[in-house]
Amino acid sequence: MSARASTVTLRAPRAADRTRVAKMVEATGVFRPDEVDVALEVFDDAVAQPGVDYHALGAYDDDRLVGYTCYGPTPCTVHTWDLYWIVVDPAAQRLGVGQSLMAATEDAIRDRGGRLVVVETSSRADYGPTRAFYEALRYGRAAHIPEYYAPADDLIVFAKQLAPPTAETAPYG
């Protein structure tokens, strides 16, 4: 696989990518079957009605999906957005694909007036690389709720303030 960040193309995913999303989510080895189902449900909504509830971005090596983010505005907030999913094919991890996806996702959120991105993840040991990824991208730990997902599986919430949009990207500017 040649999926270095410099060789991937970022664009909206298609419904035909659903099987790849399922395979990537399963291949990470950290999600339960019910979580895979939720990932696919959110993916389906994002591609069926882009921008209604969810926005999505795919990273492609040639025409093969190797990474994906899904994000959306948080209801009942003023310009806060949630990152619902990010997944990178394990064969493409540690090549900068996730960083490229996150940078483009943050830019898209900022361009839509977003000011804060919130990410929820697990405290389990197998999520250690995930937490380190967010910390490397300057997401700060904002909350910790013990045994949220299950016994011995805490919720860790990360958040990042985004710089305000420039005059060129401000949605109402």
Tens digit of pLDDT for each residue in 70-85? Answer: 999 999 999 999 999 9
| pLDDT tens digits, 116-130 | 999 999 999 999 999
pTM: 0.89
Q: Name the DSSP class of 77.
A: S
CATH class of domain segment(s) 5-161: alpha beta
User: Three-state SS for 15?
Assistant: helix
Asked if 33 contacts 26 with a C-beta cutoff of 8 angstroms, the reply is no
Please report the pLDDT score of residue 173 as a whole number: 34
A 10 A CB-CB count for 3 gives 22
Q: What is the pLDDT of residue 1?
A: 52
- Would you say 99 and 137 are in contact if contact means Cβ atoms under 8 Å apart? yes
Domain edges within the chain: 5-161
In this prediction, the residues of the chain whose per-residue pLDDT falls under 70 are 1-6, 165-173
pLDDT at position 165 is 59
